[in-house]
Structure 1
Amino acid sequence: MDLILWRHAEAEDGHDDLARQLTAKGQQQARSSAAWLAAQLPPQYRVWASAAARSQQTAAHLPPDFEIIPALNPDAQAPALADLLRRLAPDATLVWVGHQPWIGQLCAWLLNGDGQPAAYWSVKKSGFWWFELWFDAEGQVQAKLKAVLTPAVLKSPNTKK
C-alpha cells in the first residue's frame, strides 16, 4: 500500500477552524504539490480530505474527485488513523489531505513506532510524506519512506516567495 500524507496548504487565520480558506499563496502551493503528485501517482489512487475547507481546497487540485473523511479532521489522533490503515486494501494508493499535528504524529508512528501525541514531526504546509506500507506476519504495520517534499522544493526558481 502507498500512503501519501499531504498537509493542507497555507490558510487564512480564523475562529471557525473548519471554514478557514486557502490564501492565494496556499492555492499556488497546492497547485505545485498536486502537479508533482499527479505525475508520480499510479493510474488508480484515491484522495481523502478532512471536512475542513482548506483541506478540501488543497485536495481539489489533484484529480480525481476527493472523498470527505471526517476521521481526518484537525482533531484526529494518529492511533485511530493507524487502525484505519488495517481496513484498507494492501494494494491501495491513498492520498490523505489533512493537518498537523496528526500528520506529524502518524509520520513518527510509521517510522519509529511512537504514536504518542507529544511525538510528532513537522510537516510544512502543502508538504507531503509518501510511505510504502505493508503488514508483517504479526499484523504490525511496516513502513518505508519513499519521498518527502515541500512547496519550496517544487517552486520554480523564477517564482517569488
Structure 2
Amino acid sequence: MDLILWRHAEAEEWQSDDGHAVSDLERSLTPRGEKQAARMAGWLDRQLPERTRILVSPARRCEQTAMALGRKYKLRAELGPDAPPSQLLELAQWPANKLPILIIGHQPTLGQTIAQLLALKEGECPVKKGALWWLRYRDREAGAQTVVVTVQSPELL
C-alpha cells in the first residue's frame, strides 16, 4: 500500500485584515501557498497512479491545495485539524488497502502519523507547509516494513 501525506500549502494568518478572527477552517492559501500547491501538484500529477484515492481535510486551505492537482477528491471531516493519527490510518485503511491513498491534511497529525509508521522516537516528525511524504507498506520474509519512497518540498521542485 502507498500512503502519500501532503501538508496543505501556506495559508493566511488567524486574523483577517479588519481584525476579526477567521475560523481555522476558513483560512485560505496565500499567493505563495497557491504557487507551492501548483508546483507540488505538477510534480505529483506525473507520479500518482490514476486509481489513487484522494481524501482531503474540510479546511479551505486543504481543499485549495487539492484543487491544484485537478483530480477528483473527497472531503473528510475525520481529517480536520488536530485529528489523531489513528483516525487518519483507519480512514486510509492502512495497511490493508490495495489502492494508493493521498491524504491532504495538517500538522501535527501528518507528522505524528509519519513518526508512528516509521517508529521515530520523538513521536512527531516536522512536515513543511506544502511538502509531502510518500510511504509504502510492504511484506517481506523478515516481516512487515514501512519504507519512505520520497519526501518532496515545493521549493525544491
Q: Given the two structures, how large is their TM-score scaled by the length of structure 1?
A: 0.84
1:152 aligns with 2:155: yes
- SS for the counterpart of 1:61 is helix
Match of 2:72 among 36, 59, 65: 65
| 1:72-87 equivalent positions in 2, closer than 5 A | 72-86=79-93
User: What is the identity percentage for the equivalent residue pairs of Structure 1 and Structure 2?
Assistant: 40
- Deviation track 1:14-41 (CA, whole Å, cap 9, x = no partner) reads 2410000000000000000011110111
- SS for the counterpart of 1:76 is coil
Structure 1 unaligned residues grouped into runs of 5+: 155-161
1:133 aligns with 2:128: no
Structure 2 unaligned residues grouped into runs of 5+: 15-21
2:92 and 2:101 in contact (8 A); partners too: no
Would the alpha carbon gap of residues 146 and 88 (structure 1) be closer, same or farther in structure 2, given more than 3 Å must change? closer
CA RMSD of the aligned region, Å? Answer: 2.2
1:110 and 1:142 in contact (8 A); partners too: no
1:143 aligns with 2:146: yes
- Kindly provide the amino acid, as one letter, of the partner of residue 63 in structure 2: Q
- SS for the counterpart of 2:156 is helix
C-alpha displacement at 1:43, in angstroms?
A: 1.8
Q: Given the two structures, how large is their TM-score scaled by the length of structure 2?
A: 0.86
1:9 aligns to what? Answer: 9
1:120 aligns with 2:127: no
